[in-house]
Structure 1
Amino acid sequence: MIIVSDREFIVDGVTSLVSNDVSANDIRGSTSLLLAAIQTENISRIKNAHQIARGYEHLPLELREKGFNVHVKNLEFNSMDGRAQLLM
């Protein structure tokens, strides 16, 4: 259930989420998929995950440091500009 007022959304969400293979289309959307995926019990795969690295290059690593089970394939750190890059 979602209740909308002029200043807020009140969301009564689901009790659990189901893992799945998903595809990221933009920076904020892909980050939302990542945050939802870490709440599932099984493995979720996010395709086009380079979208996350465009705006939040250290987020997957920071989540791992906080104890979340996030595995990144093909992550390369570019020492020239100090940015991480997901290589797909």
Structure 2
Amino acid sequence: MSNKASKTTKRRLRLFTIITLIVFVLFVSNVASLYIQIQNSNQKETELVVELNTLKDKTIYLQNEVKKLSDPDYVAKYAREKYLYSKDGEYTIKLP
């Protein structure tokens, strides 16, 4: 009877060990998966912060351009430089 009890105890111990290992492997794989998700989220956050800063800079630049373009003198100067418009009696020569 002792031999039979010993076999039953060994089987239970093996079963307990296998179940424990399975639970441990599932736990580790879950933790690894969450770690990878966190790393991806951090990387995405960094990219979005850079994009946000770029867009803020562009917004400031465009707001300054709007202010400049509301000035008629600046618009006239800009049109002469960019599109080669000239005043009456004035010649435009574009140099390379």
Question: TM-score normalized by structure 1?
Answer: 0.20
Which protein has the larger Cα radius of gyration, Structure 1 or Structure 2?
A: 2
Higher helix share: 2
Question: TM-score normalized by structure 2?
Answer: 0.19
Which structure is higher in RCO with an 8 Å CA cutoff and minimum separation 6? 1
Higher strand share: 1
